[in-house]
Amino acid sequence: MKSYKGTIGILTGGGDVPGLNPAIRAVTIRAVREGYRVIGIRRGWAGLVDLVPERDADNSRHVQVLSEDIVNRAGRTGGTFLHTSRTRPSHLPKVVVPERLKDRYDDDINDVTPEVLRNLEFLGIDFLVPIGGDDTLSYGQRLHDEGVRVVGVPKTMDNDVPGTDYCIGFSTCVTRTIELTHALRTTAGSHERFLVIEVFGRYAGYTALLPTMAGAADRCVIPEYPFGVERLAELLVEDRRNHPSRYAVVLVSEGARTTSEDMSFEGGEMDQYGHRKLGGVGDRVAARLKELSPAYNDGRRVNVVNQRLGYLVRCGDPDALDSIVPMAFGNIALDLILSGTSGRLVSVRNGVYDSVPIDVVTGRKKVVDVHRYYNTDRLRPKYKTLLRQPLFVMTSDV
């Protein structure tokens, strides 16, 4: 039987983004060449909840031994071949508790962390590498507090994980947002309309602000600043009037709020992290702009092209940055593992790769610094004082 230096577990949790497979590939190839066995845990934390810790059990749906051949094929693609979920083992609803555990966990909400720890021991995991956003990583911190050796890798196209300037998936999201917004201009221009585009961003407005800074839109509204829709209508009429093709563009973060209304949700159901599904603010804003436009356009109504980009910005292959950064993150994770260091989050800070304590993910929220980067009167980015700012400008996490 082949002997190994140890066993490393990898999982991906939360929403999919381009760049996850390159990160899995980077960790696996380096680890295998260093003499480690690598186990891919399927469906995020769900794989460690549903695993049956018995030698003769078929756990192929929950775990997979990874090889260079497997990850090389997957590493060029988007999404996550290990699959993902929003499972939170510390807050597991009774309805999804595995049948074999129902006699021990029959509350409406259950903490099945003891089972997760038992399953990690059963698998012989020496180091665990969760790749995810602050929700996934917050449970990684919980396991670290329980004595599990954890090295986290930040992923989210919202780019809102604290402790790092960059998260896997963000560059592809911004790139796609710019491309799709420019593509939709032809329709808005042909019909002389407002173009309202809803983009991701629950609490942080980076995915609206940065494409606007890059010239994709005239205005943007973000979760960090409740905006007046009347002021937005006035500005868009002004932009439309000044445009040769008589149209104007606004990017709307899904978590944006007007001064008179809160976030827009699709139904009341919450996931295991307490989040309701956002959606619909673009529809609301579009309807109000159409209604308000005559007041600023000499009594004439301006019609609206309204589009939610949704999963179009998170599907498909990663761009160059979301192929390179995951490679670096994965190798830094291995550097930490080889040195015996745990309880860390791989990061980029001020353009330099680094790592920070993993408890940063629960210590604070990472949001746009409105005072520094957002013109609240003009509802668009500030373009001054860019000297010595990081590559993505307002995403620095100090």
Active site residues: 158
Question: And the tokens for 52?
Answer: 């049956």
Category of 154 on φ-ψ map: left (φ > 0), alpha (ψ -120 to 50) or beta: beta
Residue 40 bridge partners (DSSP): 10, 64
Residue with tokens 């973000």: 222
Cβ pair 154, 133 in contact under 8 A: yes
Q: CA 235 → CA 135, 230, 388, distances in Å? A: 37, 9, 31
Alpha-carbon distance of 229 to 62, in angstroms, equals 48
Q: Which residues pair with 265 in a beta bridge?
A: 278
CA distances from 245 to 146, 186, 191, 218, 237 (A): 60, 10, 9, 14, 13
CA distance 132 to 84: 10
CB 174 within 8 A of CB 395: no
Q: Rounded to whole angstroms, how far apart are CA atoms 308 and 280?
A: 9
- Which residues make beta-bridge pairs with 65? 39
The span from the CA of 163 to the CA of 151, in Å, is: 14
Tell me the C-alpha distance between 112 and 178, whole Å.
42
Query: How far is it, in rounded angstroms, from Cα 197 to Cα 58?
Result: 46
Per the DSSP assignment, residues forming a β-bridge with 258 are 227
As a whole number of angstroms, the distance between CA 74 and CA 188 comes to: 38
